[in-house]
Amino acid sequence: MYRGWLRSSSVAFLATAFLVAFAVLAGGCANRPLVATPGPTAYTGPATTSPGGSTPGSTSPAPAPTTAVGPYRPNTHGQIMVIVYHNIGPQEGRWERTPAGFRSDLQALYDRGYRPVNLGDLVAGRINVPKGYSPVVITFDDGTAGQFRYVTGPDGKTEIDPDSAMGVMLAFHRDHPDWPLRATFFINGDPFQQPGWQEKLKFIVENGMEIGNHTLNHVYLNKVSASETVEQVGKEQALIDTAVPGYNATTLALPFGAYPAYPDAVRDGTYNGVHYHIRAMVLVGAGPIPAPFSPQFDPERIPRIQAVDASLGIKYTLPFWLDYFDRHPEARFVSNGTTGN
């Protein structure tokens, strides 16, 4: 189903790897033990080209979004990484990234000329990154405390935990002003597992990030009725609306990566007078997506790349794809500087 956008033989090889990985990783969101990925173990050919020294240095001044020219030749037919994190916490693991690990991911993306966009914007064709840079989407599933936590600071005031994902992103944005605050948070019925969640949802939206629907109770949408589907999506939208009145979550992460039995009930519905309209559904594994303007792009089956530490050795996760696009920069989507490209 993804072969249409694969052009070179090395990329065709990757299609096989991708499909294998997809089957392994698509479970998603459950704290299941790590499954070793069978299949190809190495690329068959040498690296072709590399961005070399042309990547922007982390100390270079922030380019103005409308005039900067990045290090890559525009290619609006290339592929885009949509990355997924689960918890941010003390242990590197299949479903957890440490704050230091998350920070290093942001730095790795920044140094390679990626810039974040919200998923809803990407799907709507609004790819607002400077010319020569590549869009990347950062998503978070399950609304864990480690993604956005309040703590009591040294002065006794409530502050955002600098080691939660939000704290890491705020600091990174402060140090790299040309890395905007963009991310998509897919939440359930207990957002961020802490009081004050309404304020957090407001903060996300007011700072340019996105709230996505992950159903109220993290249900298997392939196993519930149409009416229960409407209830699960609609009640979550209602919960979001209590925090950010009028905000419509247009993207939905499928719990466990399970495609719904009643996709129509996910797309549009009304529950207790609350209407929702979902334009994009995301899966869990495991490769990049074709450009959203491409006929191969399916907004209702968007695969995502798991961000895990390289030391875990899990194939087809973020370290693998970073390396892949270093070796194949011609495969990257690169902005031509026009929103919408």
Task: Please report, as ranges, the residues that interact with Zn ion according to CB under 5 A.
Answer: 29, 141-142, 255
CA pair distance 128, 341, nearest whole angstrom: 9
Q: Kindly give, in sequence order, each residue whose CB lies less than 8 Å from that of residue 70, ignoring residues fewer than 6 positions away.
A: 56, 63, 113, 130, 131, 132, 133, 334, 335
- The CB-of-332 to Zn ion minimum distance in angstroms stands at 28
Task: For Zn ion, give the closer residue by CB, 71 or 189.
Answer: 189
The total number of residues shown for the chain amounts to: 341
- The CB-of-339 to Zn ion minimum distance in angstroms stands at 31
- The CB-of-142 to Zn ion minimum distance in angstroms stands at 4
Question: Are 226 and 265 spatial neighbours (Cβ–Cβ below 8 Å)?
Answer: yes
Strands (E), the chain: 81-85, 87-88, 96-97, 114-116, 134-141, 150-152, 158-160, 184-187, 210-213, 251-253, 268-271, 274-277, 280-282, 305-306
Task: For Zn ion, give the closer residue by CB, 28 or 290.
Answer: 28
Task: For Zn ion, give the closer residue by CB, 222 or 294.
Answer: 222
- The CB-of-335 to Zn ion minimum distance in angstroms stands at 30
Q: Kindly give, in sequence order, each residue whose CB lies less than 8 Å from that of residue 69, ignoring residues fewer than 6 positions away.
A: 63, 130, 131, 132, 337
140: which 2 tokens?
């978070």
- The CB-of-234 to Zn ion minimum distance in angstroms stands at 18
Task: For Zn ion, give the closer residue by CB, 94 or 103.
Answer: 94
Task: For Zn ion, give the closer residue by CB, 5 or 140.
Answer: 140
Q: Strands 81-85 and 150-152, how do they pair?
A: unpaired
- The CB-of-127 to Zn ion minimum distance in angstroms stands at 26
Task: For Zn ion, give the closer residue by CB, 219 or 318.
Answer: 219
Closest residue to Zn ion: CB criterion:
29
CA pair distance 204, 244, nearest whole angstrom: 10
With CA atoms as reference, report the closest residue to 68 among 135, 134, 136, 131.
Answer: 131
With CA atoms as reference, report the closest residue to 79 among 120, 134, 14.
Answer: 134
- The neighbouring-strand residues paired with 210 are 184
With CA atoms as reference, report the closest residue to 18 among 333, 287, 290.
Answer: 287
- The CB-of-29 to Zn ion minimum distance in angstroms stands at 3
CA pair distance 22, 122, nearest whole angstrom: 22
Task: For Zn ion, give the closer residue by CB, 121 or 142.
Answer: 142
Task: For Zn ion, give the closer residue by CB, 17 or 88.
Answer: 88
Question: Are 337 and 300 spatial neighbours (Cβ–Cβ below 8 Å)?
Answer: no
- The CB-of-213 to Zn ion minimum distance in angstroms stands at 11
